[in-house]
């Protein structure tokens, strides 16, 4: 199957117009010795029906997700997605369009980008937001680069309880992570304030601090006083957007940059992508902002409209001096988030955050009543928490898998020095029966 419309006659006429006798002639500029001989992938094409049969078969080599209960979070969360989301993102005027460089026929994209930027700023308690980055990890890395560039300083403090994958990405993005990163330890599940104070006292040239709330272990960090302690060094906060229906937004604590993974906002976990990097900051730093933004202006007759604003920061104008190399971003995922947040509204998001909080509390309480199971840290958490279990976590993981309950594999915690632990995420998709069953099964294992 292909999607080429030409008849033999079309081709003949076109070749004639060009003045060549065959398509091969159009490739005569490529040296013979490097032209491919034979097949490159060794496959015949397929009709639509064959393709669907084959690819659906492949899909069925996965278990059916609807048949199982997933309690895995670790940065990506299974949330309920209302139908309006796919009905909007499925409009081909949106999904088959390119980046809105031609503003006059891209008011749709530019319009929702403006709405997205507004919704994300509101959520984060920040002045401005861009139209998206690749994912939560690259957003965090770009935030670090922005702080370093703005302040022209290198050392960056990174809390040891942020998502370890974000930390991995930051390490990859920084030219010299061993020299540039100062790791901030944690105490009883939250960042260690004494250690932070000491780091700040010992270093007068910090570019900033990266913290996450809820942190990787689900615990709500107390952001109060951090900005004051940091002075002009950047407070960079990574936040779960759903939690902000309940929690005070980082902007209220003086954050300079707020980043996060926007997948929970109306996007499937999709085996890890495409995701949605959120990036919000203060207006003062606008010229240092990475990525695209839509801005409001007027046309030649005074009508309001939107354009891609401040493109002089971007790679296609500024080239090697651009604020970032990002070009294609996560537009359709950002549209999904815009529709999702509009569909829930302030009351819906608040209710959703509360449901997540309630369920996690319910399950944690229930599990902690089991002998040999305890919360690892006695700290407030949002929709995810860590347990210490008096049994081999791998055996529990294995047993639950057989029972149709998926947990984060304990090796992901071992890497962080947590050897006898489980990390459990609960969203509105996990109902009471599933939680009760999980508790019963866990009790049997203890």
Partner 1 sequence: METIFDKSKSGRRSTYLNEDDLTSKKPSDELDGDLLRGEKPGLPEISQPELMRHFVELSKKNYGVDDGLYPLGSCTMKHNPKPNEDLAATEEFQDHHPLASPDLVQGNLRLMYELGELLKGVSGMDGITLQPSAGAHGELTGMLMIRKYHEVRDELERRTEILLPDSSHGTNPASAAVAGFDAVEIKSNDEGTVDIEGLKEATSEKTAGIMLTVPNTLGIFEKDILEVAEIVHDAGGLCYFDGANLNAFLGRVRPGDLGMDITHFNLHKTFSTPHGGGGPGAGPVGVKEKLLPYLPIPVVEKTGDGYSFDYDRPKSIGKVNSFPGAFGVLVKAYSYILSLGDEGLKRVSDNAVLNANYLKEKLKDPYKLDYEGVCKHEFVLNGSGMGEGIKTLDIAKRLLDYGYHPPTVYFPLIVKEALMIEPTETETKENLDEFTETMLKIAAEAMEDPELLHEAPTETPVGRLDETQAARNPVLRWTESE
Ligand X SMILES: Cc1ncc(COP(=O)(O)O)c(C=O)c1O
Write out the binding residues for ligand X, residues 322-351 only, by CB under 6 A: 327-328
Q: Residue 47, interface with ligand X (CB under 6 A)?
A: no
Stretch that binds partner 1, among 161-169, 186-194, 226-234, 384-392 (CB under 8 A): 161-169
Q: Which residues are CB-neighbours of 145 under 8 A, at least 6 positions away?
A: 173, 174, 290, 324
Stretch that binds partner 1, among 119-127, 191-199, 203-211, 368-376 (CB under 8 A): 119-127
Q: Residue 421, interface with partner 1 (CB under 8 A)?
A: no
Contact 409, 72 (CB under 8 A): no
Structure tokens at 421: 């632990």
Smallest gap, in angstroms, from Cβ of residue 444 to partner 1?
A: 20
How many Cβ atoms from other residues are within 10 Å of residue 182's Cβ? 16
Residue of the chain from 232, 284, 358, 394 that contacts partner 1 (CB under 8 A):
358
Q: Which candidate, 207, 155, 204, places its Cα nearest to that of 183?
A: 155
What residues numbered 267-286 form the site for partner 1, per CB under 8 A? 268-275, 283, 286
What residues numbered 204-263 form the site for partner 1, per CB under 8 A? 220, 222-224, 244-249, 252, 261
Residue of the chain from 154, 200, 288, 361 that contacts partner 1 (CB under 8 A):
361
Q: Residue 317, interface with ligand X (CB under 6 A)?
A: no
- What does the alpha-carbon distance between residue 36 and residue 40 come to, in Å, rounded to a whole number? 8
Q: Which residues are CB-neighbours of 230 under 8 A, at least 6 positions away?
A: 200, 206, 208, 209
Q: Residue 350: which of partner 1, ligand X, none does it interact with, CB under 5 to 8 A by kind?
A: partner 1
Smallest gap, in angstroms, from Cβ of residue 322 to ligand X?
A: 12
Beta bridge partners of 239: 213
Smallest gap, in angstroms, from Cβ of residue 404 to partner 1?
A: 10
How many residues sit close enough to partner 1 to count as binding (CB under 8 A)? 203
Q: Residue 7, interface with ligand X (CB under 6 A)?
A: no
Residue of the chain from 148, 161, 163, 383 that contacts partner 1 (CB under 8 A):
163
What residues numbered 136-155 form the site for partner 1, per CB under 8 A? 136-138, 145
Q: What is the DSSP letter of 271?
A: G
Smallest gap, in angstroms, from Cβ of residue 315 to ligand X?
A: 8
| Residue in the block written with tokens 């680069």 | 145
Contact 90, 332 (CB under 8 A): no
Structure tokens at 343: 């569909």
Q: Residue 375, interface with partner 1 (CB under 8 A)?
A: no
Cβ proximity to partner 1: between 114 and 199 the closer is 114
What residues numbered 376-415 form the site for partner 1, per CB under 8 A? 380, 401, 406, 408-409, 412
- What does the alpha-carbon distance between residue 200 and residue 171 come to, in Å, rounded to a whole number? 21
Cβ proximity to partner 1: between 40 and 417 the closer is 40
Bin 206: left if φ > 0, else alpha if -120 < ψ < 50, else beta: beta
Helix (H, G, I), strand (E, B) or coil at 315: helix
What residues numbered 214-253 form the site for ligand X, per CB under 6 A? none
Q: Residue 114: which of partner 1, ligand X, none does it interact with, CB under 5 to 8 A by kind?
A: partner 1
How many residues sit close enough to ligand X to count as binding (CB under 6 A)? 2
Beta bridge partners of 280: 129, 258
Q: Residue 53, interface with partner 1 (CB under 8 A)?
A: no
Q: How far is CA 105 from the centre of its chain?
A: 29
Contact 132, 138 (CB under 8 A): no
Cβ proximity to ligand X: between 63 and 327 the closer is 327
Smallest gap, in angstroms, from Cβ of residue 202 to partner 1?
A: 26
Burial of residue 253 (number of CB atoms within 10 Å: 0-12, 13-18, 19+)? buried
Q: Residue 349: which of partner 1, ligand X, none does it interact with, CB under 5 to 8 A by kind?
A: partner 1
Q: Could you give phi then psi for residue 103, rounded to 5 degrees?
A: -55, -35
Contact 181, 171 (CB under 8 A): yes
Binding site for ligand X (CB under 6 A): 327-328
């Amino acid at each position: 199957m292909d999607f080429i419309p030409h008849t033999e006659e079309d081709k003949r006429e076109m070749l004639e117009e060009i003045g060549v006798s065959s398509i091969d002639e159009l490739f005569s500029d490529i040296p013979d010795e490097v032209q491919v001989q034979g097949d490159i992938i060794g496959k015949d094409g397929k009709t639509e029906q064959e393709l669907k049969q084959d690819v659906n078969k492949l899909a069925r080599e996965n278990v059916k997700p609807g048949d199982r209960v997933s309690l895995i979070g670790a940065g990506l969360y299974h949330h309920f997605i209302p139908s309006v989301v796919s009905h909007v993102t499925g409009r081909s005027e949106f999904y088959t369009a390119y980046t809105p460089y031609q503003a006059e026929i891209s008011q749709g994209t530019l319009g929702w980008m403006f709405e997205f930027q507004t919704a994300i700023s509101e959520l984060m308690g920040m002045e401005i937001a861009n139209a998206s980055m690749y994912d939560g990890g690259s957003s965090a890395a770009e935030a670090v680069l922005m702080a370093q560039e703005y302040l022209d300083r290198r050392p960056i403090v990174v809390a040891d309880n942020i998502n370890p994958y974000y930390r991995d990405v930051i390490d990859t993005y920084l030219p010299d992570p061993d020299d540039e990163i100062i790791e901030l330890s944690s105490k009883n599940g939250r960042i260690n304030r004494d250690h932070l104070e000491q780091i700040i006292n010992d270093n007068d040239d910090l570019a900033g601090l990266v913290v996450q709330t809820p942190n990787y272990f689900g615990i709500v960090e107390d952001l109060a006083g951090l900005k004051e302690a940091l002075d002009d060094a950047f407070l960079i906060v990574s936040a779960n957007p759903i939690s902000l229906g309940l929690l005070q937004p980082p902007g209220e604590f003086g954050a300079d940059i707020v980043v996060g993974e926007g997948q929970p906002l109306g996007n499937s976990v999709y085996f890890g992508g495409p995701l949605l990097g959120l990036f919000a900051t203060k207006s003062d730093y606008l010229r240092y902002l990475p990525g695209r933004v839509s801005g409001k202006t007027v046309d030649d007759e005074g009508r309001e409209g939107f354009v891609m604003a401040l493109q002089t920061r971007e790679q296609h104008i500024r080239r090697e001096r651009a604020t970032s190399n990002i070009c294609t971003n996560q537009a359709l995922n950002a549209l999904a988030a815009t529709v999702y947040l509009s569909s829930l509204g302030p009351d819906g998001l608040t209710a959703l955050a509360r449901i997540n909080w309630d369920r996690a509390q319910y399950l944690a309480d229930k599990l902690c009543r089991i002998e040999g199971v305890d919360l690892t840290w006695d700290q407030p958490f949002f929709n995810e928490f860590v347990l210490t279990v008096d049994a081999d976590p791998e055996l529990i993981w294995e047993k639950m898998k057989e029972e149709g309950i998926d947990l984060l594999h304990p090796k992901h915690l071992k890497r962080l020095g947590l050897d006898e632990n489980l990390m459990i995420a609960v969203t509105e998709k996990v109902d009471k029966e599933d939680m009760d069953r999980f508790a019963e099964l866990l009790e049997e294992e203890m």
